[in-house]
Structure 1
């Protein structure tokens, strides 16, 4: 049934337009038998569709009006058989049921990688796989470990990520990385059309710049903005303790803290360190109350939007390539203060946010470019980042934030032994129950005199701990804290434990 549905509906109707959607009479009893009752053969349905002129014969035959219904069906069958020979999606459907019914083995599927030229038979694994001395499972694990098969090729979650690094003293973008990437050189001059076709159909979407075009919730990285809003508006200060019981129940439905047992009575620096949801939920709630204690969603959201604008999260960064517009949350006020609601930002925008925090308030218009020259090397234009705003809050607010962010890194073993003091904030942004969470880290180093700010996002990366691992490697590289070969080992890293607090 799935084969037939794919051929008739997905392929002939939706993809190829052979069956015209607009021509179909959806109330027709024969159509109902096909779509609802499943009580008709494909041949009978297509022959009937031809008799009702639901089929555009010109898509597959030049004879048109000279064919009767049976001849239309035969011509369509010939067309389909030829088309399906090269249809990747139909092949995957066949493999799916061949695997389920044990008519093809996992090892045979893996051998297809060699037949398709994805892997070389000289790699040392082919003979072992073909002879049965290596299982399909061990084969795939080994190929993933050695990076002969990369996450982007698997298109499983996670298979993409991004990172943006800035010079906090100038606003220059030092790195803007989207994974998976591709070789630009093969797409210029004499374009490698096969390579382009492969990239354009890749389910990991390499042409989509994850650093500047992908927007997603910032998760707990947003709690720093909530700190600025709460302290600036006077609803919390250094001495404000809030009791976290593990659940914030002043709104419906209640919002759980990641620590189900609760953090107990904590103040702002501890709240940042422990990434306590309940603390920042209370900040959002208090900011929505009037003088009589009445809560208003709009009042709370307006304060959040005010400070998001102050720190530049309501606008693009100025980066000179395509960048998606940010979205400051406009609903679900209290959850918005822990980075949910409808908040959505690119990695580049989170990096500018981190830069502003590192500099105690300098919001830059970022730039990727240094200068423009003529063919002789003469400078025609210099690109200088501009400070478009300075967030006007008292120094004790920044002191609390910087101390809290320094403590965050001390609680994450991913940075143990790094060799430079880092301040940062993790984030785990929920997606849906069907997909893993996004993992984020933003921060700066050295913590006492910042030079670089960084934002890392791993789409569907499960936990912020994985983003921390990537950030740790980036800091090691920037500050030359270890040999490059110890970072770029040529094999996949593995980290199965999660000690991150979000």
Structure 2
């Protein structure tokens, strides 16, 4: 019996040993390559390297958005005997808040001892030097260098360029690049529109790590490809000048554009903000001050602000009347200061009226009654059709996000949206740019460009290359003809010329007096409150006597030079009062400056996009060194 049991036990052990040997042979011989690969993959970690973000320049290659060297302080727990003591010593060398010390202590306890923890970002070179000199007394402290977005022009281009910020949870799309710590994407403006082009292609790094994840050495590195350079149509000198002029008012916007190729040369919105504040995270206090500001500094009023165009809209109504054949340029209407329609009385801005006026005089003096008469013959739908042809009532398609469309009403629109029939009196109100009519400053500039050129000009903010010496050399053939009679367009231009360059024109005092640079324009004053009958009888309260938010908007549109139009301009000053007294002088100065800048650049040579990019990248590398 003992022998039989021994034999059975021995046989069982033999079977087990045989199975073990077979399994070991299978794993070590048959599956050798597979497990060798897995071991290497566990030992080698592949990591993404964020690429440098593409730069943004103005039309002449001036840098508007670049990547600057960013120094920050890190601490490694295993390299210092006492984290708090080291941080306390560091706080005596550079400014570190007590809350930061508490935060760092909590972070180092939650992470592995060899993982660096950020103490402070955005150190100045002086701070870096002080920390470096005191390095022997700061065990575990590391100075690290990286890149952060920098906007050299600061607030001057905040609304156009936009800004970059950290990736939000809802913006994660599966792209591993977005999950890198500290990676920034475009949140508004050009940075958002061209974010994918500006991001570039990520690089990779192969590092050897131990079982705990500690990096032993770098095995291989492939640098990424930096993002593309984006060249804007803006002229930074004209942009600075526009911002300076608007800064005199609480809230305003202005646009200057080329009437033939659609280049936006300046787009200013005031008040503004510093986009650099968003690069590394804006403080809660600053964010609250921006969103609670009654003048809306975060809003780009050039494309997001919608305003009743006031009398600037009369250019559209006059052109619609000529094209429809309901009036002739010489036909006159009598203005006694008002027009009665049914039981309602519609007033002219001039108490006592303008007397007999034709189309030229109606624009020169901005007579409201003339347009009341014309609009009754024309009808709202024909007015709306012409407004659409001139670029109003729809987004222009400029390369910026969140552009608003404004509003050009029609009979069908009112019935569909409000469920009510269109009234005759509403046509009269719309004919002088009030009522339901809403436009943006960029749309008004587009309208002027189309009036001046006769082309369906569309504004844009980016170019394919840095502009050559002669900025008028670009062909305008890409835009189709509006299909409007050249003679009728000349009548409108002549009326706008009378506004600024003929005595008693509403903007005669704001004319450009330099021969050859003269502008033609149209004033506009848009009411934001209803004037009572009592005020009509006793005298309308002046804007200066009203609270800011109840004052009229001041508007002005213009093109220059008169003989050979090249530039279009639109200015809106919120609650600024008189279009002739406030907005017209701004447009005059902007158009004068635009023409002077053109003539003062004879030495600007053609520079292609590659050379401009190379200059900026070389500068960046020198800064890093």
Q: TM-score range by the shorter chain?
A: 0.5 to 0.7
Structural mapping, 1:161-172, within 5 Å? 161-172=252-263
Q: Hey, what does 1:422 align to over in structure 2?
A: 519
Q: Hey, what does 1:328 align to over in structure 2?
A: 408
Which residue of 506, 509, 524 corresponds with 1:413? 509
Residues 389, 429 of structure 1: CA spacing in aligned structure 2 closer, same or farther, 3 A cutoff?
A: farther
Query: 1:472 aligned to 2:566?
Result: no
Q: Hey, what does 2:557 align to over in structure 1?
A: 442
**Cα deviations by residue, 1:112-134 (Å, 9 ceiling, x for unpaired):** xxxxxxxxxxxxxxxxxxxxxxx
Task: Tell me the secondary structure at the aligned position of residue 212 of structure 1.
Answer: helix
Q: Hey, what does 2:457 align to over in structure 1?
A: 364
Question: What is the CA distance between 1:416 and its match in structure 2?
Answer: 5.4
How far apart, in 2, do the equivalents of 1:384 and 1:192 lie?
47
Q: Hey, what does 2:432 align to over in structure 1?
A: 338
How far apart, in 2, do the equivalents of 1:423 and 1:384 lie?
24
Q: Greater strand share, 1 or 2?
A: 2
Q: Hey, what does 2:335 align to over in structure 1?
A: 244
**Cα deviations by residue, 1:206-242 (Å, 9 ceiling, x for unpaired):** 0011111010110000001111111111111122111
Which residue of 376, 400, 420 corresponds with 1:285? 376
Q: Hey, what does 2:290 align to over in structure 1?
A: 199
Task: Tell me the secondary structure at the aligned position of residue 399 of structure 2.
Answer: coil
Q: 1:441 touches 1:467 (CA, 8 Å); kept in 2?
A: yes
Query: 1:234 aligned to 2:350?
Result: no
Question: What is the CA distance between 1:270 and its match in structure 2?
Answer: 1.0
Question: What is the CA distance between 1:266 and its match in structure 2?
Answer: 1.4
Which protein has the larger Cα radius of gyration, Structure 1 or Structure 2? 2
How far apart, in 2, do the equivalents of 1:228 and 1:447 lie?
18
How far apart, in 1, do the equivalents of 2:382 and 2:347 lie?
23
Give the unaligned 5+ runs of structure 2: 1-244, 411-421, 467-473, 531-548, 601-625
Question: What is the CA distance between 1:186 and its match in structure 2?
Answer: 2.0
Which residue of 444, 454, 458 corresponds with 1:350? 444
Question: What is the CA distance between 1:475 and its match in structure 2?
Answer: 2.1
Which residue of 356, 363, 383 corresponds with 1:304? 383
Q: Hey, what does 1:270 align to over in structure 2?
A: 361
Q: Hey, what does 2:398 align to over in structure 1?
A: 319
Report the TM-score, using the length of structure 2 for normalisation. Answer: 0.46
Residues 389, 327 of structure 1: CA spacing in aligned structure 2 closer, same or farther, 3 A cutoff?
A: farther
Q: Hey, what does 1:452 align to over in structure 2?
A: 567
Structural mapping, 1:216-227, within 5 Å? 216-227=307-318
Tell me the number of residue pairs that the alignment of Structure 1 and Structure 2 aligns: 309
Report the TM-score, using the length of structure 1 for normalisation. Answer: 0.57
**Cα deviations by residue, 1:333-377 (Å, 9 ceiling, x for unpaired):** 121111112000111111101111111x2122211111389xxxx
Q: Which moved more, 1:160-169 or 1:471-480?
A: 471-480
Q: Hey, what does 2:275 align to over in structure 1?
A: 184
Question: What is the CA distance between 1:190 and its match in structure 2?
Answer: 4.9
Residues 385, 188 of structure 1: CA spacing in aligned structure 2 closer, same or farther, 3 A cutoff?
A: farther
Structural mapping, 1:476-495, within 5 Å? 476-480=592-596
Task: Tell me the secondary structure at the aligned position of residue 390 of structure 1.
Answer: coil
Runs in 1 of length 4+ with deviation above 4 angstroms?
150-153, 383-389
Q: 1:370 touches 1:384 (CA, 8 Å); kept in 2?
A: no
Q: 1:365 touches 1:387 (CA, 8 Å); kept in 2?
A: no
Q: 1:367 touches 1:384 (CA, 8 Å); kept in 2?
A: no
Q: 2:499 touches 2:520 (CA, 8 Å); kept in 1?
A: yes
Give the unaligned 5+ runs of structure 1: 1-149, 288-299, 374-382, 485-502
Task: Tell me the secondary structure at the aligned position of residue 268 of structure 2.
Answer: strand
Alignment root-mean-square deviation, CA = 2.8
Question: What is the CA distance between 1:392 and its match in structure 2?
Answer: 2.1
Q: Hey, what does 2:52 align to over in structure 1?
A: none
Residues 252, 207 of structure 1: CA spacing in aligned structure 2 closer, same or farther, 3 A cutoff?
A: farther
How far apart, in 2, do the equivalents of 1:279 and 1:354 lie?
21
